[in-house]
Structure 1
């Protein structure tokens, strides 16, 4: 008969694998969203480019930056869907949600309210994807979609609107020329 040996409680804890690594080994893979991080970071970088806010007169506010990042993200999500990369599109959206959640918490928004804000942001993303898809794929009116969604109905100078429209159309064309792998690597510039 074997005798049970007692372990020091600290030894027991140090002998246990950490939960994430244990689960990753159990499941056998890392977070699949990690492969979308270069693309997400490129989308955010593009959405923060000064020309949108200077020549394009997008309001340089939290809301304006959110709207600009969502505009660029919408283009990337639509191109991923066109390439048959529906799962990657979902993962890219999840990275966006995680980022927005972190941004809200950093601003001091509490747990109770964060979910409501995220819900509104996801609704905004869905609405913008629909508006930009209609304008870029269906022959809709991109300037009108930009006035409603990017400028939120505020008056905007025609040359600023022309700048944003031209830059987004160029970005749309550029994304259409990329392979799926190039896009996932964040080569959207």
Structure 2
């Protein structure tokens, strides 16, 4: 490949395949149909945050700080693109991104604490009810928490190479 070819089509950013898998899993219709996750911008954001949190917690346990940084960068890039697609202008994109990164960080912290709790099933259900369903009783927080814990097991069982390749 010539230098000109490489300049025209640079390699994808680190962990792009993993990010694509996170988004693919988060957009699975089952979350929305079976567990009542709102099929809205907020609901989709919350599912991406939940799935990304499970992956990032695994990367944290590996001590893969660089990979968590790369994954956060993919999150920001994706959210910025989504904001621009829905017509958010340049003057306020930064503010919206700041709010979204803060919300993501809060959810990551809540899910980390829940999964470290002596009662992770109950704690995760409460964290999902509070963060994803905003306290609304309409969604199936218990079922979603069970499904999220099953997803976490799949993520945790993947080899480091399979995890990064999105094979989980």
- C-alpha separation between the residues in 2 aligned to 1:138 and 1:174? 20
Task: Quote the residue 1:21 is aligned against.
Answer: 7
Residue in 2 that maps onto 1:176 = 156
Find the partner of 2:53 among 74, 88, 92. 74
TM-score by length of 2: 0.89
Q: Distance in 1 between matches of 2:81 and 2:15?
A: 18
Q: Which residue of 2 aligns with 1:149?
A: 131
- Consecutive unaligned residues of structure 2, counting only runs of 5 or more, are none
Tell me how far apart the structure 2 counterparts of residues 83 and 91 of structure 1 sit (CA, whole Å).
15
Per-residue deviation, 1:154 = 1.6
Total equivalences in the alignment: 161
Q: Distance in 2 between matches of 1:136 and 1:74?
A: 11
Alignment partners' CA distance in 1, 2:51 and 2:152: 9
Say what the alpha-carbon RMSD is for the aligned residues: 1.9
Distance 2:165 2:129 in 1: 31
Q: Secondary structure at the match of 2:15?
A: helix
TM-score, L = length of structure 1: 0.79
Give 1:74 deviation, angstroms. 0.6
Asked if the contact 1:35–1:184 (Cα under 8 Å) also holds between the matched residues in 2, the reply is: no
